[in-house]
Every structure is written in C-alpha cells, then in structure tokens.
Amino acid sequence: MPLAETRPGARAEALAAWALSLPALILLWAMLLGPAVAVLLLSFTGWSLGEAEMEWIGAGNYAQLAADPVFWTSLRNTLIYVGVCVPATVGLGLAAALLVESVGRGRGFYRAAYFLPVASTLLAMALVWEFMFHPTVGFVNQAFGALGLPVTDWLNNPDVALLALAVIGVWQNLGLAMVLFVAGLQGIPRDLYEALAMDGADGPWERFRRVTWPMLGPALVFVVSIIAIRSFQVFDTVAVLTEGGPSKSTEVLLYTMVQEGFTFLRSAYGAAITVVFLVFTLAITMAQTILLDRRAHYG
C-alpha cells in the first residue's frame, strides 16, 4: 500500500498542496499553455481573421508551408542569423566580462555601459543604426573608407544586409551575456586560483584554462540558451530597417508570421508558422543545453 494512503493526514496535505499551487497552475495555463494549445489547434484550420466559421483542414497549412519558398527562405535566414549571433555574442560577452572583472576601479560604470543596449528601446536604437549604416554619411562606411576597406549600402545589399542585422543583434545582447558571465565569474571560489598558484601555474592563460573555463560551465549553458532564444525572436530590426528585403534576404520567421497573420489576415497559416518557430526554438535550445550540460562542471 502506498505511503500516502497509510500516513495520517496525507490526504489533507495533498489537498492543501494542490490548493496552494492552484493559482500558479491557473496562471501558467492562462498565460503559457492555453495560448500555445490554441495556436496549435488553430494551425489545423483554414480560418482567417473576420470569418464567422472555422473549417478543420488537418495538416493543410503545413503542407502549404513545405511548398512555400518564402517560408524556407525565412527559416534559412533565421538559422543563419542565430548561427552568427550566438557564438559572437557569447565570445564577446565572455571577453567583456573578463575585462570588466580585471578592472580595479569603475566596474559599476563599465557594467552599466555594456548593459545599456539591453535596457534601451530597440526600435529607437534601430534608427541610430540606420544612420550608422547609411551608404554615404554613415559612420561604418566612413570608418571603412578611412581604413581603405570596401564600402557598400549595408541595409540594401542582399549579400550583407542580414550580416548587418546580426551585428545589431550582437550589440544588443552583448551586455546581457556579459552580466551573466560576471555572475558566473563571481561564483568561482578564490581558493581554486590560490591552489593553482601553489602548483606554479599562475599565468593568465593557465588560470583561465584550468579554473575559469571549467567552472563557467553552468553559466555558459544558461547564456547560450538565453542568447539563442533571443536571437530566434529577432523581429524589430527587420520590421524597422529592411522589412524583409532586399529580395527577401532578411526575411525571418517571426516577420513572415506577422505578415501572414496580421497583414494578409491568414491567421491559421500564421499559426502554423508560429508552431514551426516554437518547435525549432525548443529543439535547438534543448540540443544546446544537453550538449553543453554534459561538459559543465557543477560545484
């Protein structure tokens, strides 16, 4: 017989536990699970915004997605964007964290300066980047020209427009990665560095290779997951700066979903794109977490 049935008061404790957790479960369903299930069910219909009836069409929207070149273009662009942003942001964020922690004075100022893009309104900052990428008076082309490097119209050149948006994405998320890595660095026991010094290996590279990097495993898993999710959610800069152009070179999944669902009012088709977006985000994030978590050292 289970222990819960034999121990006096077990039923009352179970009821009390469910009663206390019920508000959180209701909020979880109302804010997360409920809308996700609604979008999933909507993706199997042919409903458009404003229609009185909802027709069940099964996997028709997904079959249309499989034959839609715009969808595959947006998926490819999203994966390229994530593939550029995640390693660049993680690498630069770790470098910034190490530099900030090595500064004797002004740590608070540098942390705030790096974190400022995260707290800024991306729509407003996108206009600043639009000016910086201007083909004639923009800072980027002015700097490239002074260095003798080739210049281009960054946001209107199909070959580099997505890269330009990725640069903005790295700039925006760099401060978040830096702050998370700083928290990880501060959690490393100092006695590990002292023990390493007693072994005669007190150089910066040895300290990083033998202590800092292994002990940053949990922070690295979290940073990669967060930056990957934020990179998959790119939308603002595309909508403001390029509108998916030129020639669909910056079309991403979220922008395609918004266009289909809210501009063309194809709500069910937009819901199917949303489901694919959620599946890809969840799958890649879980894969990264599992692969990195195997190498992480938890003290």
DSSP letter for each residue of 166-225: HHHHHHHHHHHHHHHHHHHHHTS-HHHHHHHHHTT--SHHHHIIIIIHHHTHHHHHHHHH
For the chain, percent helix, then strand, then coil, each to nearest 5? 75, 0, 25
Residue 47 lies in a domain: no
3-class DSSP state of 56: strand
Under DSSP, is residue 45 helix (H, G, I), strand (E, B) or coil? strand
Chain segment 260-296, per-residue pLDDT in tens: 988 888 999 999 999 998 888 888 778 877 776 665 5
Q: Are residues 159 and 261 in the same domain?
A: yes
The reply to whether 10 and 106 lie within a common domain is no
Q: Do 22 and 138 share a domain, yes or no?
A: no
Peptide bond into 35 cis (omega under 30): no
- Give per-residue pLDDT as tens, 1-15: 454 455 667 888 888
Verify that 241 and 288 share a domain, yes or no: yes
Indicate if 18 and 88 belong to the same structural domain. Answer: no
Same domain, 277 and 175: yes
Residue 198 resides in a domain: yes
Question: Can you tell me which residue has the tokens 């593939």?
Answer: 83
Q: Residue 144 class from Cβ within 10 Å (0-12 exposed, 13-18 middle, 19+ buried)?
A: middle
- 26, 138: one domain: no
* Co-location of 107 and 228 in the same domain: yes
- Contact criterion met (CB below 8 Å) for 108 and 193: no
Q: What is the pLDDT of residues 66-111, one digit of tens each?
A: 999 999 999 999 999 999 999 999 999 999 999 988 876 777 787 8
Comparing 43-47, 154-158, 168-172, 217-221, the range with the smallest average pLDDT is 217-221
Give the pLDDT score at 3.
Answer: 47
Query: Phi/psi of residue 48, each to 5°?
Result: -120, 150
Global confidence as pTM = 0.86
> What is the domain-level CATH number for residue 186?
1.10.3720.10
Six-digit token pair at 100?
A: 């900030």
Question: Which tokens belong to 199?
Answer: 């072994």
pLDDT in tens, 127-152: 889 999 999 889 999 999 999 998 99
Q: Which domain holds residue 12?
A: 3-42
Residue 165 has pLDDT above 60, yes or no: yes
Does residue 49 fall inside a structural domain? no
Return the structure tokens found at 54: 């909802």
Clarify whether residues 18 and 128 are in a common domain. Answer: no
Same domain, 15 and 125: no
DSSP assignment letter at 156: G
- On whether residue 116 sits in a domain, the answer given is yes
Answer yes or no: do 80 and 143 share one domain: yes
Chain-wide mean pLDDT for the chain? 87
Number of domains in the chain: 2
User: Can you give the pLDDT at residue 1?
Assistant: 42
| Domain membership flag for residue 249 | yes
The answer to the question of residue 99 being in a domain is yes
Burial group, residue 16, by CB count within 10 angstroms (0-12, 13-18, 19+): exposed
Q: Helix axis angle, 161-186 relative to 217-232, nearest 10°? A: 150
202-226 residue pLDDT tens: 778 888 888 888 888 888 888 988 9
Is residue 9 located within the same domain as residue 67?
no
Kindly state whether residue 51 falls inside one of the protein's structural domains: no
What share of the chain has pLDDT > 70, as a percent?
A: 94
Task: Dig out the tokens for 292 from the structure.
Answer: 């990195």
